[in-house]
Amino acid sequence: MKKNFILTTQLDFAAAHRLIGYEGDCAKLHGHNWKIEVSVIGHTLNDIGMVIDFKQVKQHAKDVVAELDHSYLNDHPHFQRTNPTAENIAHYLYNELAKRLDQDAFKMHQIRVWENDRNYVTYSETDH
């Protein structure tokens, strides 16, 4: 049986957006205090008993989120082509973090993006 270690760290950022083509209040400019949960999966431990140091995961997440923090998401180059829904934000963040984190020993497992205390989206990629 294969062992799985899933490490998760959280951080937050503030950003505004509006949803293009949406009929309702979210079509208007509004903001969120977004929270993200970044999960990395690994199957083996290094010499000191870690998959990866939580600090490394958090630093990569901070670097990616820094370009979105206190911004108008619709102005971001990626979201000029893609509606900045919670789903699309999760997909974007997952891909950007995978570029930085994926290695032989561990890789991105999933990301959860909360737009408020009650609503979140989870994005992951699987082989099946």
DSSP line for 65-77: HHTTTTEEGGGST
26 in active site: yes
The one catalytic residue in 43, 67, 70, 125 is 70
Rounded to whole angstroms, how far apart are CA atoms 127 and 32?
33
The one catalytic residue in 60, 76, 109, 115 is 115
User: Which pLDDT score, from 0 to 100, does residue 128 have?
Assistant: 38
Q: How confident is the model at residue 1 (pLDDT cuts 50, 70, 90)?
A: confident
Rounded to whole angstroms, how far apart are CA atoms 120 and 113?
5
Domain boundaries of the chain, sorted by first residue: 5-124
pLDDT at 126 over 80: no
Rounded to whole angstroms, how far apart are CA atoms 5 and 34?
26
Mean pLDDT, range 59-84, rounded to an integer: 97
Mean pLDDT, range 89-101, rounded to an integer: 97
Mean pLDDT, range 4-17, rounded to an integer: 97
Domain 5-124 has CATH 3.30.479.10: yes
Known binding-site residue numbers for Zn(2+): 17, 30, 32
Helices (H) and strands (E) in the chain, counts: 2, 5
User: Which pLDDT score, from 0 to 100, does residue 127 have?
Assistant: 63
Q: Which amino acid is at 81?
A: R
Known binding-site residue numbers: 17, 30, 32
The one catalytic residue in 26, 43, 67, 125 is 26
If you average pLDDT over every residue of the chain, what do you get?
Answer: 96
pTM of the model: 0.94
pLDDT at 120 over 80: yes
